[in-house]
Structure 1
Amino acid sequence: MSQCIFCRLEKTEILLENELSKAFFDRYPVNVGHVLVIPKRHLTNLFEASLEEMISLWKLCEEVKEELNKRFQPDGFNLGMNIGAAAGQTIFHAHVHIIPRYQGDVKDPRGGIRKIKQSHVPYPGEGEGPT
């Protein structure tokens, strides 16, 4: 898919990769160190991935976690994915969000991803992020 921005990533943007997957920092991070992990093959969503691709993605997620621990020393992580426009997917190339979390980055983190965190960097067209 030549029009897919994830399929056209520059080599310099890649944080880590393996045979079937690659990881890179989100251009509009929710928090410091926010990384996306994607299959190299263009898939609209992760339900289309083969078992080998899923294993590859998960192994790379583990490597990303270790890299983020070294660089940023987060206190926790949120992992998530948006599948379909109704779920908030805006880039239709399957991807997993790895979002480092830090003690005190929100007043009350209970509920994790059930609560919307103010974006670290505003998403285009969204002003200052979710409210």
Structure 2
Amino acid sequence: METCVFCRSKLDIVFENETCFAIFDCNPVTQGHLLILPKAHREDYFSLTERELVDTENLVKLGKKYLDQRYALEGYNIGFNCGVVAGQAILHCHCHLIPRYQGDVADPKGGVRGVIPAKQKY
């Protein structure tokens, strides 16, 4: 798709498999933040083929191994934003693999529930 930044840009691929690839996020949440994307333009997670789902999962696991070797990590957040209302800014499916470090936030309890800040703490 000509208007998609992921489709039209020359990207620095960290690793890839048959249907997907991984790049470092150009606006990382934390050091090492990776994006895993299908090579074909797919709008969101729900548009992925079965093969792309498997290849995405394999790259998430490979990304974790790669990041574990490079950084002293304590955890990860993994996620997809599906649709503009959910925060998806680029309508080409991408999985965020966000490394987490001890002390990167004062209180990490609630994790991804923080997408709606009032619901994060419970």
Asked if TM exceeds 0.5, the reply is yes
In 2: Cα distance, 1:51 partner to 1:22 partner: 16
In 1: Cα distance, 2:18 partner to 2:9 partner: 16
In 2: Cα distance, 1:98 partner to 1:85 partner: 19
Per the alignment, in what secondary structure is the counterpart of residue 6 of structure 1? helix
Question: Percent of pairs identical after alignment?
Answer: 44
- The equivalent of 1:22 in structure 2 is 21
Structure 1 runs (4+) greater than 3 angstroms displaced: none
Q: Structure 2: which 5+ residue stretches go unaligned?
A: 116-122
Residues 1:93 and 2:92 aligned together: yes
- The equivalent of 2:120 in structure 1 is none
Size of the aligned set, in residue pairs, is: 115
Q: Structure 1: which 5+ residue stretches go unaligned?
A: 117-131
In 1: Cα distance, 2:9 partner to 2:75 partner: 28
In 1: Cα distance, 2:33 partner to 2:8 partner: 19
> CA shift at 1:62, angstroms?
0.5
- The equivalent of 2:78 in structure 1 is 79
1:2 maps to amino acid = E
> CA shift at 1:4, angstroms?
1.1
Report Cα offsets for 1:14-61 as digits up to 9, x if no partner.
011001000000000111111100011100011011111100100011
In 2: Cα distance, 1:10 partner to 1:73 partner: 30
Q: Which has the higher helix share?
A: 2
- The equivalent of 1:31 in structure 2 is 30
In 1: Cα distance, 2:9 partner to 2:16 partner: 12
When the two chains are superposed, the root-mean-square deviation of aligned CA atoms in Å is: 1.1
Per the alignment, in what secondary structure is the counterpart of residue 36 of structure 2? strand
> CA shift at 1:71, angstroms?
1.0
- After superposition, residues 1-131 of structure 1 pair within 5 angstroms as 1-10=1-10, 13-115=12-114
